[in-house]
Structure 1
Amino acid sequence: MSFDPILLMGGSGAIGHQTARAIHAIYPDVPLLIGGRDLARAQSAAAEMGDAQGVEIDTASADLGLGEQKVSAVVVLYKDHTLASLRFAQSRGVPHLSISSGIFEIAPEIASFMNAPAASAIVLGYEWLVGATTVPARQLATSFSQVEEIRIGALVDEQDTGGPTVAADFEHLNHLLPAALTLRDGIWLWREGEDAKATFSALDGTEINATGFSSIDVTGLAASTGARSVQFDLGQGVSSSRRKGGTLSTEIVLDISGLDHAGQALHTRHAVVHPGGAAPLTGMGIALLLERLIGLDGKPPVTPGLYFPWQILDASRYLAHLAQEGGQVVALSSS
């Protein structure tokens, strides 16, 4: 079966390269459009990726400057302040996945969906590394009859920069949202100042200084597990693998407390680790989302609606791909 090209807006950056790599590792014949404001750069990136074409994107145009070019999905790898990509996807009736908005600025996207709920599938892909937290956390939560608290500690290696686009998006988020949306004892609040400061133990036990981060993971996990307390803390420093003398990695520590299926207190700690850093793990999540959104796997495509990534991703398939790439979910001491 042939498919129209997938449009990767901002696809010439580090995450774009990793996304293209992840897609072609599973579906090597799926064509890609690498969209950017700089046509020469987009074409250069497309040439490196193979089975890809560089195109110039004009967000002031309703058709993004693509004319009659057909696409099977739109993926936005930077913060699209205009929502031109979403309007384009809805007008074409194709899925839309964006990964760079903050939890405080999703109202325009939700309004666009509410105005045309049957137009296309819209994925709020703002979970940390596009499913790398929520998919494993929800799988681990099956060991509990009742989840009381989920604490997430994400460690970004200081050498894992992700490129200028990622840096610009983080600067935008940090400038506008110094407080962190948190669920504490059933009450939603914004942590700021001293209350936003936190520490967590990395994979090797090193204490990491962190700050509360407003990730949409918090809302999705609270809604789907029933936890009364959920918080996300983000730290930057030396990853555990690099502290051992190896290369950088990305780590996500998942601390879950509640009751097991016998009604006894249960506390578990796990770390999600990927040896390539944040970009390849993000690319893997995007590729697996596209697989289902478009129906690359031969199954029916996802119907129009508004989705979290974890509502589309198959946990067993996701974790299998994580293992194939050398990543793992590691059980840690819960003491």
Structure 2
Amino acid sequence: MATRAMSPVLLIGGSGQVGARAARALRRLHPDLPLAIAGRDARKAAAVAAEVGGPTTSTTADVGRDDLGLDRGASFSAIVALVKDEASNAVKRALADGVPHLAFSDFVSEIGPVVAHHVARPTRAPILLLGHVLGGTATLAALHLAQDLRSVDAIAIGCVIDADDRGGPASQADFERNEQIGQAALFLQDGRWTWARGDAAARRFADAEGVERLGHALPLLDVVSLAAATDARSIRVDLAARDAAPRRAGHVTELVVEVSGRGHDGAGARLRYDIVDEDSYSGLSAYGAAIATERLLGLAGGPPVGPGLYNPESLLDPARAVARLEELGPRVRRTRGVASG
């Protein structure tokens, strides 16, 4: 697809595990899209830029600096923050420049600063909240299933990763921050918001091969996105770890999305997606970030997005997002069963 002339998309953290994969995904989707790979390590950023190819440059960037450590006068068509923007410098730069911003690393309890910056300047730029599991892919898959039901009762999302899949430094910092603040998991249970820890946050579910896994709920934005978009009374997102298979090279990530409710015939139905990616969990996260970025810029699925505060389901068509995900490589299997009750 030809890309209209524009300034580069700035990927802060673009040399990390998610960022590098997001850059490669964007290059596959849009061969002519200018990208700027930004990180604190100039050599690592340059190496990723060279690998991605096309109109890709590299630069140093640090979200801890007011000016992000960028060259004076540099312009960008969008700012994608794939690391925690603790001082809100990335969102402030996007608002000042009036360009789209993607906030990728905020837990459900951490969105206050971004929301406040939007409220202060609501007409400056589009801000997309993407602190969802695996870059919003699970939420969009759930909503695609929900379109085939007359009513939705429950949504259960399970993510299975290898026990030794630690992600990159940015991902590890997210998990460590969550542990330090002692944040409880958030889920919707029988119509009530519930914060829980330990055994109270645990759930068993079957992975893509039918193996039972023990997962624990996470405090991610999927639950509030899906609660606002559906009439479901129970919603949760759980993460489970499997022992790495000794004969398997590399990581595998499984995303299990189950939506139950009433079909258009009035009968109980349970719809399920099993999405399997032959990569670490950074892979699906990166695909979600890439699909969201192209939408913000108006490169696919509609015109460029105007100023506002958005969740992924506000901007992305679920069916198109799932199809785009399949284009990028993950295996997607859909099944239908009968819901009890």
TM-score category by the smaller chain?
over 0.9
Deviation at 1:86, TM superposition (A): 0.3
Q: Distance in 2 between matches of 1:44 and 1:285?
A: 23
| Pair 138,9 (structure 1): closer, same or farther in 2 beyond 3 Å | same
Q: How does 1:1-335 map to 2 (within 5 A)?
A: 1-50=4-53, 51-58=55-62, 59-62=64-67, 64-238=69-243, 248-297=251-300, 299-332=302-335, 334=337
Classify the secondary structure of the residue corresponding to 1:75.
strand
**Contact preservation (8 Å) 1:156, 1:235:** yes
Classify the secondary structure of the residue corresponding to 2:284.
helix
Deviation at 1:229, TM superposition (A): 0.9
Q: Distance in 2 between matches of 1:261 and 1:297?
A: 31
CA-based RMSD of the aligned residues comes to 2.1
Structure 2 length-normalised TM: 0.91
Classify the secondary structure of the residue corresponding to 2:109.
helix
Of the structure 1 ranges 255-264 and 311-320, higher mean CA displacement relative to structure 2 is found in 311-320
Count of aligned pairs: 333
**Unpaired stretches in structure 1, ≥5 consecutive residues:** none
Q: Distance in 2 between matches of 1:85 and 1:78?
A: 10
Of the structure 1 ranges 78-87 and 62-71, higher mean CA displacement relative to structure 2 is found in 62-71
| Pair 113,276 (structure 1): closer, same or farther in 2 beyond 3 Å | same
| Pair 297,245 (structure 1): closer, same or farther in 2 beyond 3 Å | closer
Deviation at 1:141, TM superposition (A): 0.8
Classify the secondary structure of the residue corresponding to 1:261.
coil
Q: Distance in 1 between matches of 2:336 and 2:302?
A: 40
Q: Distance in 2 between matches of 1:153 and 1:140?
A: 15
Q: Distance in 2 between matches of 1:218 and 1:29?
A: 36
| Pair 243,132 (structure 1): closer, same or farther in 2 beyond 3 Å | farther
Of the structure 1 ranges 149-158 and 73-82, higher mean CA displacement relative to structure 2 is found in 149-158
Deviation at 1:9, TM superposition (A): 0.5
Deviation at 1:38, TM superposition (A): 2.7
Of the structure 1 ranges 33-42 and 78-87, higher mean CA displacement relative to structure 2 is found in 33-42
Deviation at 1:260, TM superposition (A): 1.2
Deviation at 1:247, TM superposition (A): 5.2
Structure 1 length-normalised TM: 0.92
Deviation at 1:62, TM superposition (A): 3.6
Q: Distance in 1 between matches of 2:271 and 2:303?
A: 36
| Pair 30,102 (structure 1): closer, same or farther in 2 beyond 3 Å | same
Q: Share of identical aligned residues, percent? A: 36
Deviation at 1:183, TM superposition (A): 0.8
Q: Distance in 1 between matches of 2:335 and 2:318?
A: 20
